[in-house]
A and B are shown apart, each in its own frame.
Chain A
Amino acid sequence: KQEVTQIPAALSVPEGENLVLNCSFTDSAIYNLQWFRQDPGKGLTSLLLIQSSQREQTSGRLNASLDKSSGRSTLYIAASQPGDSATYLCAVRPGIIQGAQKLVFGQGTRLTINP
């Protein structure tokens, strides 16, 4: 059974710092991995999607990497801003036909950027 773990559960840093959020998964047979952002009481916004054949994806100040063999992904946020404060969720799409649409989520990292 695929399990996704995110460390740390919460992170507080001063504005301007570069930071890394970690995600690990137990089964390396995945189709893709997706990073989401969730603001309090709201739905999820997709940030980056990395296919299993890719090593990284970039969007603006965000860079996500994927090491499928070791079951790890990182989300790098450069020059953090108070508006980046949110919960960041990592989700993997299992590499099996049955349940291939099922995203398996981690519990998230709650990020606070202090002005």
Chain B
Amino acid sequence: ETGVTQTPRHLVMGMTNKKSLKCEQHLGHNAMYWYKQSAKKPLELMFVYNFKEQTENNSVPSRFSPECPNSSHLFLHLHTLQPEDSALYLCASSPNPGDFYEQYFGPGTRLTVT
């Protein structure tokens, strides 16, 4: 266990649905991240939050909407997704922005868009 939890672990949704992914870290970290892992592609950073503020958006489509209400929680709100958005979505955290320590990853949410 890395101290980063994600729910749900699996999600199937239609293209017209709205759903949210949740990430929680119990490590006292101040930076949190969303990554996307698609089949046959390297893991890609989507968003970075430092002290609850978004500091990086890696050209992610607006149908993905992140929210960070506090340093321990991170959400990814999903709406009007496409089948190509099916992937494993991983959340990570690290102690502080700009530090050189490891990022700790959650187990991921396996998303299938039908």
Using a CB–CB cutoff of 8 Å, the interface residues on chain A facing chain B are 4, 31-32, 34, 36, 41-46, 49, 51, 89, 91, 93, 99-108
| Docked-complex contact A51 and B45, CB < 8 angstroms | no
| Docked-complex contact A106 and B42, CB < 8 angstroms | yes
| Docked-complex contact A105 and B42, CB < 8 angstroms | yes
A98 to B77, CA, bound (A): 25
The minimal Cβ–Cβ distance linking B59 to chain A, given in whole angstroms, is 12
A93 to B98, CA, bound (A): 10
| Docked-complex contact B56 and A51, CB < 8 angstroms | no
| Docked-complex contact A49 and B102, CB < 8 angstroms | yes
Chain A interface, DSSP helix/strand/loop, else mixed:
strand
Interface size class of B (residues with CB under 8 A): 20 to 34
Contacts of B112 on A, CB cut-off 8 Å?
Answer: none
Interchain Cβ contacts within 8 Å, total number:
63
Q: 3 tightest A-B contacts by CB?
A: A44-B105, A105-B43, A43-B105
A93 to B42, CA, bound (A): 15
A101 to B54, CA, bound (A): 12
| Docked-complex contact A101 and B33, CB < 8 angstroms | yes
Contacts of A49 on B, CB cut-off 8 Å?
Answer: 100-102
- Contact partner of B107 (CB less than 8 A), chosen from A43, A89, A99, A104, is A43
The minimal Cβ–Cβ distance linking A35 to chain B, given in whole angstroms, is 10
Task: Judge whether B76 is part of the interface by a CB distance below 8 angstroms.
Answer: no
Contacts of A43 on B, CB cut-off 8 Å?
Answer: 2, 4, 6, 90, 105-108
